[in-house]
Amino acid sequence: KLKDNTIIIVLGASGDLAKKKTLPALFALYRQSFLPKDCKIVGYARTKMEKDDFHKRATSYIKGTEDAETANQVEAFKELLTYVAGGYEDSESFVNLNKHLEEIEGNYQSKERNRIFYLALPPTVFIPVSKNLKEQCYVNPKSGVNRIIIEKPFGKDLDSARELLSSVKQYWTEDETFRIDHYLGKEMVKNLLVLRFANIAMSAAWDKNSISNVQITFKEPFGTEGRGGYFDEFGMIRDVLQNHLLQVLSILTMERPVSFAAEDIRDEKVKVLRAIPPIEREDTLLGQYVAANGKPGYLDDSTVPPNSVCPTFAATTLWIHNPRWEGVPFILKAGKALNEAKVEIRIQFKDVTQGIFKDIARNELVIRLQPNEAIYMKLNCKTPGLHTRAVPSEMDLTYKRRFSEIKIPEAYEALILDALHGDHSNFVRHDELDVAWKIFTPILHWIDGKNGPVPKPLSYPYGSRGPKEMDDFIKKYGYRRMADA
Ligand code: BG6
The tens digit of pLDDT for each residue in 329-358 reads: 999 999 999 999 999 999 999 999 878 888
- Return the pLDDT at 387: 86
Cα dist from 51 to 21, 43, 48, 81, 116, whole Å: 20, 10, 10, 8, 21
Q: Is 244 a catalytic residue?
A: yes
pLDDT of 484 > 50? The answer is no
Q: Does residue 153 carry a pLDDT above 70?
A: yes
What is the pLDDT confidence band of residue 483, given thresholds at 50, 70 and 90? low
For atom 5 of ligand 1, the residue with the nearest CA is: 239
**Does position 469 have pLDDT exceeding 80, yes or no?**
yes
74 in Cβ contact with 27 (< 8 Å): yes
Mean pLDDT within 298-325 = 96
Q: Compute the residue count for the chain.
A: 485
The alpha carbon of 231 and the centre of ligand 1 are apart by a number of angstroms equal to: 11
pLDDT tens digits, 56-107: 999 999 887 788 989 999 999 999 999 999 999 999 999 999 999 999 999 9
> Which protein residue has the closest C-alpha to ligand 1 atom 6?
239
Chain mean position to CA 284: 21
Rounded to whole angstroms, the Cα distance separating 153 from 147 reads 19
pLDDT of 485 strictly over 60: no
Nearest-CA residue for ligand 1 atom 11 is 240
Report angle CA 89, 416, 80 to the nearest 5 degrees.
75
Per the rule left: phi > 0, alpha: psi between -120 and 50, beta: everything else, 286 is beta
Q: What value does the mean pLDDT of the chain take?
A: 95
Residue 65 is predicted with a pLDDT of 77
Q: How far is the CA of 427 from the centre of ligand 1 (A)?
A: 17
CA distances to 116, 171, 361, 413 from 418, in Å: 12, 22, 42, 9
Ligand 1 shell residues, CB under 6 Å: 182, 220, 239-240, 343
240 C-alpha to ligand 1 centroid (Å): 7
Atom of ligand 1 nearest to the CA of 234: 6
Return the bridge partners of 151, or none: 180
Closest C-alpha among 340, 304, 127 to residue 224: 304
Q: Using one digit for the tens of pLDDT, what is the confidence trace for 389-399?
A: 889 999 999 99
Q: How far is the CA of 141 from the centre of ligand 1 (A)?
A: 35
CA–centroid distance, residue 198 to ligand 1 (Å): 29
Please report how many Cα atoms fall inside a 13 Å half-sphere around the Cα of residue 104, on the Cβ side. 25
Ligand 1 center from residue 366 Cα (angstroms): 21
Mean predicted confidence (pLDDT) in 195-221? 96
ipTM above 0.90, yes or no: yes
Ligand 1 probe mutation, 240, 247, 312, most atoms within 8 A of CB: 240
By most ligand atoms within 8 Å of CB, the mutation choice from 151, 186, 219, 239 for ligand 1 is 239
Residue 1 has pLDDT above 80, yes or no: no
Atom of ligand 1 minimally distant from the CA of 152:
3
CA 276 – ligand 1 centroid, Å: 24
Minimum CA distance residue for ligand 1 atom 9 = 240
Catalytic residue among 55, 244, 321, 430: 244
Question: Which of 182, 238, 289 best tests ligand 1's pocket when mutated (most atoms within 8 Å of CB)?
Answer: 182
What's the CA dihedral at 174, 28, 20, 338 to 10 degrees? Answer: 90
**Nearest residue (CA) to ligand 1, atom 2:** 239
Write the residue with the smallest CA distance to atom 13 of ligand 1: 183
Using the 8-state DSSP alphabet, how is residue 282 labeled? Answer: G
DSSP code for 425:
T
Residue closest via CA to ligand 1's atom 8 equals 239
In the predicted model, what is the mean pLDDT of residues 368-384?
95
pLDDT score recorded for residue 66: 82
**Taking CA 337 as the corner, what is the angle to CA 119 and CA 363, rounded to the nearest 5 degrees?**
95
Residues 266-308: pLDDT tens digits?
999 999 999 999 999 999 999 999 999 999 999 999 999 999 9
Distance in angstroms (rounded) separating the CA atoms of residues 350 and 199: 20
56 to each of 20, 24, 59, 151, 441, how far by Cα in Å? 13, 12, 6, 25, 42
Q: How many CA atoms lie within 13 A of 17 on its CB side?
A: 15
Q: Are strands 114-119 and 81-85 parallel, antiparallel or unpaired?
A: unpaired
Q: Which atom of ligand 1 is nearest to the CA of 224?
A: 8
